Amino acid sequence: MSGKVKVGIIGVGTIGSVHADAYAKVPEAQVIALCDILPDRLQEKGKRHGVSTLYASYHDLLANPEIESVSICVPNRMHAPIAIDAFKAGKHVLLEKPMALNQVEGKAILAARDAAGKVLTMGMVRRQFPESEVVRQAIASGRLGEIYQIRIRMIRRRGIPGLGGWFTTKAESGGGGLIDIGVHFFDLAMWATDLWNPTRVSAKIYSKFGAPMKDYHYISMWAGPPKFDGTFDVDDYAAGMVRFGDKATMSFEVAWAANAKDEQMAEFIGTKGGLVIGGDTVMLTEVDNMLADVKLNYNKDGGGFPQEIAKHLKAVKGEAAPPATGEQGVIAMRLIDAIYKSSEQNREVEV
């Protein structure tokens, strides 16, 4: 495959526009079509991104023979149906996180990919940040020694998105903060350490701030404003511990809303040193038999969605492997399924 890869974007809400803006920064890409079920939004986004071919039905977009790859940027409930149909139509797929509502749907996506012989890239953009690659390289080089504990805090003080809409409706989203933002750092932790074998988990989820919805006080709202006639039946806080066999453990706190300081942090603790992502990237180690905190300086330019898309298109062209695979997406879904199960049953469960 040579020249620009012709792309269609399915779903042009906020994240769909993020994809469109990122494609515009990748020379190998040409977005030729957009799709959305909301006519006014579709027209507005077509003008904004300079795309004239617009579809109200994703089936019509998939029937366009010019389109080689699609970005799927729709509510979670539609991830599996659209991805499967895209593969049946012979398209490559960049699928936004989370992979699906659960691991069963994730496995169905893999089966469709294999039958089509096409590329699936999971939209795990946290991997593409420069600091993430620095941490992965430090771990792979052995500078931290054996990683035996990971600590994750993904806390929003008041950050419930789209209250009353699909984000907070379990049938549409599959869950709340855990599946929405927790999946980012679960994937980052397993990718950075190459620990893709979560075996057991003990966890508890809570729903304390979203109901009654009119009592929820916030400053701003992603995917807002609130729909007070809608639904909130998902988690806004989750905490627990994951075992990776007898090799390592991972503790986590994930919150859309909590009476706690805003924080995005992943800490990797090893026998020779530790590393923290969140603000400055700092290695905690020893130098000349003295404790030392070493701030890592590196090129912070680039990364993010354009990097993810550029790597996806290289995979489409057969020049590289996908930057985040479907198999890894299924593992993340297995872990999330187990966390919900552990909370429901009030016990440790197998992943």
What is the domain-level CATH number for residue 84?
3.40.50.720
Q: For residue 144, what pLDDT is reported?
A: 96
CATH code where residue 204 lies: 3.30.360.10
Q: Is the dihedral of CA 261, 264, 268, 274 positive or negative?
A: negative
46, part of any domain: yes
167 with 108, same domain: the answer is no
My answer on whether 93 and 150 are in the same domain is: no
SS3 string of 253-279?
EEECECCCCCEEEEEEEECCCEEEECC
What pLDDT, on a 0 to 100 scale, did the predictor assign at position 1?
58
- At 278 the pLDDT is 83
Whether 161 and 100 share a structural domain: no
Is 186 inside a domain boundary? yes
Specify the pTM: 0.96
133 in a structural domain: yes
pLDDT of residue 2: 61
72 and 146 together in one domain: no
Q: Which residues, including other chains, have CB under 8 Å from residue 107's CB and lie 6 or more apart?
A: 330
pLDDT at 338 over 80: yes
Residue in the block written with tokens 């096409």? 118
Task: Report how many domains make up the chain.
Answer: 2
Candidate from 1-5, 42-46, 129-133, 248-252 with smallest mean pLDDT? 1-5
pLDDT for 44 equals: 98
Tell me the sheet residues that pair with 269: 149, 274
> Which tokens sit at 195?
């620990």
The Cα 201–Cα 250 span in angstroms is 9
Terminal Cα-to-Cα distance of the chain (whole angstroms): 40
14 and 53 together in one domain:
yes
Residues 132 and 119 in one domain: no
Residue range 183-226, pLDDT digits in tens: 999 999 999 999 999 999 999 999 999 999 999 999 999 998 99
In which domain, by residue range, is 44 found? 5-125+305-321
The pLDDT value recorded for residue 277 is: 87
Taking the CA of residue 161 as centre, how many other CA atoms within 13 Å lie in the half-sphere pointing to its CB? 16
| pLDDT surpasses 70 at 63 | yes
pLDDT band of residue 279 (cuts 50, 70, 90) is: confident
Q: Specify whether 235 is located in the same domain as 280.
A: yes
222 exposure class (CB count in 10 Å sphere: 0-12, 13-18, 19+): middle
Identify the pLDDT of residue 126: 94
pLDDT in tens, 285-333: 999 999 999 988 888 888 899 999 999 999 999 999 999 999 999 999 9
150 & 215 share domain: yes
Average per-residue pLDDT for the chain? 96
pLDDT at 58: 98
Do 249 and 109 share a structural domain?
A: no
* Any domain includes 328: no
Flag whether 327 is in a domain.
Answer: no
Contact predicate 240/202, CB 8 Å: yes
Clarify whether residues 272 and 311 are in a common domain. Answer: no
On whether both 98 and 108 belong to a single domain, the answer is yes
Q: Are residues 155 and 110 in the same domain?
A: no
